[in-house]
Structure 1
Amino acid sequence: MSLYSFPFDSTETPQHERLGGKCTSLAIMTSAGMPVPPGFAVTTDAFDAVMNDTKLHAQIEEHLKGLDYNNPAEIDRQAALIRELILTQEVPEAVRLEVVEAYQNLMNLCGGEVPVAVRSSATAEDLPDASFAGQQDTYLWIIGEHNVMQKVRECWASLYTARAISYREANNIPSEGLSIAVAIQKMVNSRSSGVAMTIDPTTGDKTKIVIDSSWGLGEMVVSGEVTPDNFVVDKVMLSVVNRIISDKHEELVPNGRGGITRREVDEERRNSPSLSEEEVVAVAKLAKAADKHYGCVQDVEWAIDADLPAGANVLLLQSRPETVWSQKETPVASLSGGAGIEAITRSLLSSLEKNKK
């Protein structure tokens, strides 16, 4: 077993405490045969080695000790100092070599060097009773071993933004044992992308799948920077029962230099559907499959890959439990002491084991 990396297509059972919420989900979905872009996790063991095999852990604790959480300026100052410590700390050689090897294996699998997404995967994220969305970092269209390693460091450092520190304090999430993994995954060339929920988020109707879609990368949908197309699909019949086509004025696209750029959508596409009827149904089927696999309502991120043929171009980027209606229906154990983490980990791994039988 590799200690510091975990391929998503590994035959080993993923462990939430080693992979975090996002990477655990990606590994489980890959094992279940869902169309997930290939990639691997830089495990929490790597972060723990950087923290504990150096003086980082003690230094960070010193910065957090006695912190006045009613003083935003002081939180900002200490958070910036902690992140700088992480970004400048030399990574232990064993960690660096294994992560580089896993990255090269991924590039070989993809037939050469391709852009990747580098995404944080904290151990306390994507839980039904706590939403960490957007609190740790995501970097897109990253090319090259050196750049990937730098973004891994930045993901580690994002565990200590002022917002993340304050959120953990407000929600009684202890810093002791806190760790983070990082997902490194082939970048999807998104023609269209967005989110799908296997419940109507406005009414709680579980007989519907609601899809938001726009041109380009999905970050503008998630952040609310563009008003997406909206499709409501009957979950049983997989028929579209309502649609709203919006004026989608901007999109994020690759710039050809290993990054992304924001541009205006051409006049012809602005008010045209970003998904065909067949693609809406394909996205709905994907979301429904994730819902069935996990056994609970899902919040799914998906994309249509422009490089792939119709019928094979709908990809699953992430699937996590829906957080609003699930809290109303089922009280979940407090995160204090790790009870919430253990509960969802048991659920995810139980689902995986059932599908292996």
Structure 2
Amino acid sequence: MYSLSFEKVDEANEQVGSKALNLIKMKRKNLPIPDGFVIQTEALKRYIEWNGIDRQTDNIHERILYGEIPIEIETDLIEAFQNLKRAYRSVAVRSSSGAEDLEGASFAGQYETYLNVKSAEDFLSKVKACWASFFTERVEQYTQNMYADFDEISMAVVVQGLIQSEVSGVIFSQNPVTHNTKEIMINASYGLGEAIVSGLVTPDVYLVNKQTFEVEKEKGLKEVKIIPLVEGVEEIETTEDEQQRFCLTNEKIVELAEITKEVEALYQHPVDIEFGIQDDQVYLLQAREITTLAEDNKLTPFQKDISLSFDDMEEFWILNDTSFSHAVSPLYASFIIPAFSEGTASSFQKLKFIFDRLNLKVYKGHIYTRTEPFQGDFNKRIQEHKELMESIYPILAKRMNQIIKEQFLPYYNKLDSFTQENLNLQRGKEILQGLADFYKTAYDLHFDIVMPQMSLNTIVEEYYKNLTNKKSGHDVYELLTGKMNKSLETDQQLSRLALTVKRDSELTEIFQEECTENSLKKLGENKAGKSFVTELDTFLKQFGYRSVISHDFVGEIWLENPLHALSIIQGYVKDSYNFDENFEQTVKKREQNYKEFLAQIEDSKHKEEFKKYYEWALDASVIRDDHHFYIDAMLDAKARLFLLKLGHLLVNHQVFLVKEDIFFLYLDELESLLENPVDMTKLIEKRKEEQVEHEQTSNLPRYFGTPEPTQLKEAEKYMGAIEENDANSENSIKGLASSSGTYTGKVKVISTTKEFYKLEKGDVLVCKTTTPLWTTLFQTAGAVITDAGGILSHSAIIAREYEIPAVVGTKISTNKLKDGDMVTVDGTNGIVTLLTE
């Protein structure tokens, strides 16, 4: 039998093509699919054989179009056609090929579709036309471009009862423009759907929120519509009334959205759907996975485990652009995601924390975070946590330093020695696996260090809020400034190197020009320059484990290229900045403010309680930057140097072209290549292109799922507001008040470390977020505005250290503001005002 009704097709049948299988899959779930049948691929093969067609002939398309259908096929097809015609006035005839859903392919419009077919003679003619369409030049070229094996692809045909659509359209379960998975896009117009599919009309566009079903509408011109005639179809102009009104009611939009969610849940994947509406009844005419938006279906189990799946998106995952402001490399994702999950599970258990673990996963190269709450007796857990924390609050900084000394520094020494080894593949794999294991240990210890400090800060903030009767206790962080940490110490040493330059006229002259390799050469040509280079080398050996791209392996570290440090020193030379003097003023101001605050407190008992927790918090205030220096930054830097050594080894084995290519492999791929080296250059090039696309992706979903208000509030403390503030206007941006004061100045939008040179004294620094590497800009900036971050983010903390106003977590500052804009930054109230000329 060459034809099969939808009811009789096995879902494993590969001879009916993707389009048919999708329709059958939905029909069996009682979704509104018109009846139909499928002409299996064997019919085309038999037809070619019967007509003696050589598949290599030049006129294969014509031979198929005008060939003779064998009698056994013709009889079978006409019987199926007539049975379907008993329920429908006419049918639609569509090609159905396995190539239509090739990974990364989108074959929409590449094959033929025929509507309003009524006679048996016309029906057979249209079947041959569908078969012939497979052999047109455009399809052959398309399949070759998509790496399809042309000889292996066969053509089935779907025959379906035609829906006499008054309105039709296409639905995307994931916004194809912004890739927002929380938004459905519906394109709709009058008449049969071919008008939209073929691009004849500008349709109405409806954006539907999947959770709330709120609708945004944009009216299209809907210039023409296709209607069925006695024979064939006709394209006619729409009336002015039709053009001026929306073609879908709100009720029908919601109904379509609900059906779309059902289809998406069935596929467990983003889908696009063609629909028609006849007599107010919705019918689904086609559906397929959105392969061009989808995750790679060939991901290994390890890669799937660290990637955000469609199922995951039903839960609350938040974009972590505070810690990971960029698209991370595959290899870094391979290390950091398991390390976070296993590390937090271990440390949270030891600390009796109110969460079980903190999960990370990657989506389009960007890191999303999800917390798993504690599942046991919550009140008991809180009490245990409180008792444990009280015992370690007084020694948090001392405890951190001991962990670093006993756990991290010895491993770094080992890793340095591994990097110097003459590696072979087996030895390289052993060290690699040990490094991945140490990352899990490192992040267990990482959270063992930082979580108690966060708890302590919360207590101090609550005390401050109660003592001052303020709605927020954020102002207390102004009293935790002026404590030397590794970020400030780095700046101090850079400032002192700048003073060395300024004391010598020849050195000063060298630093007047842009810092290049030529600058290094000039420094080596005189006595003062050589002495300076010696000082710089000493500095880099201690402070050079900073990457130009934090939280990744891909960026150079200062130790590899001293020009990064030299360019910062150059800025200090030009600005005449004296770190020691400014730091001394910060300490004095903090001490004075603290003294004045204590004088206002009349309740001696509460005053003593606050003083106790405050002194512990001040002592522990170094933790954020010191742990980043020794753990986050140094571990990634040391790992980078070893991985580059491994990359060099694989270059020698012809795996890829340059050692830095190693960062575009996942860990499981890298381990496999160390067992069996093979050429990966094509995959690496593809991954590099994807990395650029991921980095340029705009409008990433801020979060997935439907969070509770308490979840959003807790996340906001560390990551800033989740959504753009409703209070924003054309000339005003609202964020979080993070460092008090008001400043008016000229905007400089800084995207990467390569643009640090743009910031001039007194400019307002506008960026996505900052890491300790960016600390050097704060002595130049007059104020800071960021897209991401909360009151405990690096940007907020360092702005308070440098006593400059800061508004963080605006979400939109880097898009709304541009270089040269004049703004007033109100860090006390969290408002940025764009000043008109």
Instruction: Give the TM-score normalised by structure 2.
Output: 0.35
Cα 1:332/1:258, change in 2 over 3 Å: farther
What is aligned with 1:272?
245
Deviation at 1:53, TM superposition (A): 4.2
1:159-308 to structure 2, matched below 5 A, reads: 159-240=134-215, 242-255=216-229, 257-305=230-278, 308=279
Deviation at 1:9, TM superposition (A): 2.4
More strand by share: 1
For 1:296 and 1:168, how far apart are their aligned partners in 2?
23
What is aligned with 2:293?
325
The correspondence for 2:64, drawn from 70, 86, 89, is 86
Residue 242 of structure 2: SS of its match in structure 1? helix
What is aligned with 1:315?
283
Deviation at 1:177, TM superposition (A): 2.7
The question of whether the paired residues in 1 share the 8 Å contact of 2:174 and 2:270 is answered with yes
Aligned partner letter, 2:27: T
For 2:74 and 2:137, how far apart are their aligned partners in 1?
27
More helix by share: 2
Identity of matched residues, %:
34
What is aligned with 1:107?
85
The question of whether the paired residues in 2 share the 8 Å contact of 1:286 and 1:316 is answered with no
Whether 1:126 and 2:126 are equivalent positions in the alignment is no
For 2:5 and 2:126, how far apart are their aligned partners in 1?
18
CA RMSD of aligned residues (A): 1.6
Cα 1:215/1:91, change in 2 over 3 Å: same
Deviation at 1:288, TM superposition (A): 1.1
The correspondence for 1:22, drawn from 19, 25, 39, is 19
Deviation at 1:192, TM superposition (A): 0.7
What do the CA deviations read for 1:23-46 (whole angstroms, capped 9, x no partner)? 111111111111011111111111
Residue 133 of structure 1: SS of its match in structure 2? coil
- Structure 1, unpaired ranges of 5+: 64-77, 334-357
Instruction: Give the TM-score normalised by structure 1.
Output: 0.80
Residue 114 of structure 2: SS of its match in structure 1? strand
The question of whether the paired residues in 2 share the 8 Å contact of 1:249 and 1:265 is answered with yes
What do the CA deviations read for 1:128-173 (whole angstroms, capped 9, x no partner)? 4212111111111111111101100010000011101112223332
For 2:26 and 2:282, how far apart are their aligned partners in 1?
14
For 2:63 and 2:275, how far apart are their aligned partners in 1?
35
For 1:213 and 1:232, how far apart are their aligned partners in 2?
12
Deviation at 1:13, TM superposition (A): 1.7
What is aligned with 1:31?
28
The correspondence for 2:55, drawn from 41, 54, 60, is 60
The question of whether the paired residues in 2 share the 8 Å contact of 1:127 and 1:321 is answered with no
Cα 1:52/1:14, change in 2 over 3 Å: farther
The question of whether the paired residues in 2 share the 8 Å contact of 1:253 and 1:262 is answered with yes
The correspondence for 2:76, drawn from 84, 93, 98, is 98
The question of whether the paired residues in 1 share the 8 Å contact of 2:103 and 2:297 is answered with no
Cα 1:16/1:239, change in 2 over 3 Å: farther
Aligned partner letter, 1:302: F
- Structure 2, unpaired ranges of 5+: 300-837
Larger relative contact order (Cα-Cα within 8 Å, sequence gap ≥ 6): 1
For 2:153 and 2:174, how far apart are their aligned partners in 1?
32
The question of whether the paired residues in 2 share the 8 Å contact of 1:115 and 1:258 is answered with no
What is aligned with 1:339?
none
What is aligned with 2:42?
45
What do the CA deviations read for 1:286-345 (whole angstroms, capped 9, x no partner)? 21111011110001111111xx3x3xx01101110113321xx33548xxxxxxxxxxxx
Deviation at 1:16, TM superposition (A): 4.7
Residue 124 of structure 1: SS of its match in structure 2? helix
Cα 1:303/1:109, change in 2 over 3 Å: closer
Residue 196 of structure 1: SS of its match in structure 2? strand
The question of whether the paired residues in 1 share the 8 Å contact of 2:169 and 2:196 is answered with yes
What is aligned with 1:66?
none
Greater Cα radius of gyration, structure 1 or 2: 2
For 2:149 and 2:102, how far apart are their aligned partners in 1?
15
The question of whether the paired residues in 2 share the 8 Å contact of 1:16 and 1:123 is answered with no
For 1:25 and 1:90, how far apart are their aligned partners in 2?
30
Aligned partner letter, 1:60: R
